Amino acid sequence: MDSYGFLKVDTQADQRSRVYRVATLGAGIFIHLMVCWTVLSIGYMNIEPLQFLGIASLSGAGFLLFGVAILLEWNLSLEDPDMNLAQMIWAVSVVIMTAYFSIELKPVVVLSGLAMIVLGANRLTKNELMIFAAYSMVVYIASVSYKAQFNSLSWITEIVVMIAFGLVLVFGPILYRLEMVMFENTLIDKNAELTTALKRIRELATKDELTGAYNRRHLMEVLSQQKAMADRRDYCFTLCYVDLDFFKRVNDRFGHSAGDQVLKGFSEIAQSILREVDCVSRIGGEEFVLLLAGTSQGDAKLAAARIGEKLTNLQVSSIEPNYRITASMGITEFRRNEEISQTMDRADKALYDAKRTGRNKVIIADLDE
């Protein structure tokens, strides 16, 4: 699908979400109207049932208009296609209108409408929220003042309702957003913990726990990737098989803990000399495989020599500070279109030749094999 197709799908998803939000707000106002009808039925609203039905019909028509505008995509030409502020103003106007006719249960009428409005107001921007709150307070005060011309009002009740009205309008969305921020921060922390755990699991699945070198499975994955690149274009990579010379003597002479330190020491030396694109892997015991990406076997031999030289400076045990360990290495370069197993067998044979002919040396596999 082209970029236009993706844009169209995104627009359709946004429009469906907008219709859902209009329907949700409309449902909240419908519940408010049901509360008002109950108050009217017990005689605490100064309005005729037919007039109330007219207000309810007008309210429903407004939300229907919002829904039609979205379905016909008229809203897409607006600066705010969500029409959040317009919906909030319409909803609060319905609440204030019904509150105007209430007698003694005005707090019930007002707060039943504000419950859903506060949730909707959370979608407003900071400037929109201030406009919405100012509009609501001005219209509410105007309705109370206008009603005072005809009826005696309990001003204490009206002031309390007015304060509650303002606090809910202004601080309700703010508190809701603070709660959402705290919830999001909790999710971020949990996500960070999950990411760390997944990273640890990935390391356990791909790395040798003792040395920090990669394991055989990861090595085979990297080899497959390197082979794919080498078979398609002018690209080379080299394998270096490594065996620590007479490693068993270290375990027998100084203990397995000293042997473990030697293994870790070699892994750290190899990783310090090779690059991040290369791969240092331990395939068992004292055997390692080094994969040098984009490197010829000649350059790989130079790197192997540096590793071997640095290894001779590694102190095996404080009991015998002068005791040193060496390594034998067999090197071969991948040959285009051959199987990975062939490359590995050739490097292994070169390693065997290095061990057979005296150890502590680097041998490149015979190109004529």
Residues β-bridged to residue 333? 238
B/e letters for 129-168, b = 16+ CB within 10 Å, e = fewer, are: beebbebbbebbeeebeeeeeeeeeeeeebeebbeebeeb
Residue range 119-148: average pLDDT? 78
DSSP-derived pairing of the beta strands 362-364 and 327-333: parallel
Residues 6+ apart with CB under 8 A from 290: 239, 240, 242, 270, 274, 278, 279, 280, 281, 300, 303, 304, 307
Question: Average per-residue pLDDT in the chain?
Answer: 84
Residue range 107-118: average pLDDT? 73
Query: 3-class SS at 240?
Result: strand
More confidently predicted of 133 and 368: 133
Residues in the chain, how many? 369
- For the beta carbon of residue 301, count every other beta carbon within 10 angstroms: 18
Six token digits for residue 268:
């750290």
Say yes or no to pLDDT of 280 above 80. Answer: yes
**CATH number for domain 216-364, candidates 3.30.70.270, 3.40.50.620, 2.60.40.2220, 3.40.50.10610:** 3.30.70.270
Say yes or no to pLDDT of 290 above 70. Answer: yes
Per-residue pLDDT, 153: 54
Residue 6: pLDDT band by 50, 70, 90 thresholds? very low
Cα Rg for the chain, rounded, in angstroms?
Answer: 38
Residue 254: C-alpha distances to residues 174, 182, 360 (Å): 67, 55, 21
Residues β-bridged to residue 364? 331
More confidently predicted of 267 and 151: 267
How far apart, in whole angstroms, are the C-alpha atoms of residue 56 and residue 105? 19
Six token digits for residue 148:
């005072």
Residue range(s) of every CATH 3.30.70.270 domain in the chain = 216-364
- The predicted-structure confidence for 31-87, as pLDDT tens digits, reads as follows 889 988 998 988 888 889 999 999 899 999 988 999 999 888 888 888 888 888 898
More confidently predicted of 105 and 333: 333
Q: What are phi and psi of 213, to 5 degrees?
A: -75, 160
Distance, first Cα to last Cα, the chain: 50
Element (H, E) at 230: helix 216-232
Of the chain, the percentage scoring pLDDT greater than 90 comes to 40
How far apart, in whole angstroms, are the C-alpha atoms of residue 168 and residue 151? 26
- The predicted-structure confidence for 304-344, as pLDDT tens digits, reads as follows 999 999 999 999 988 888 899 999 999 999 998 899 999 99
* Residues annotated catalytic, as ranges: 286
How far apart, in whole angstroms, are the C-alpha atoms of residue 230 and residue 224? 10
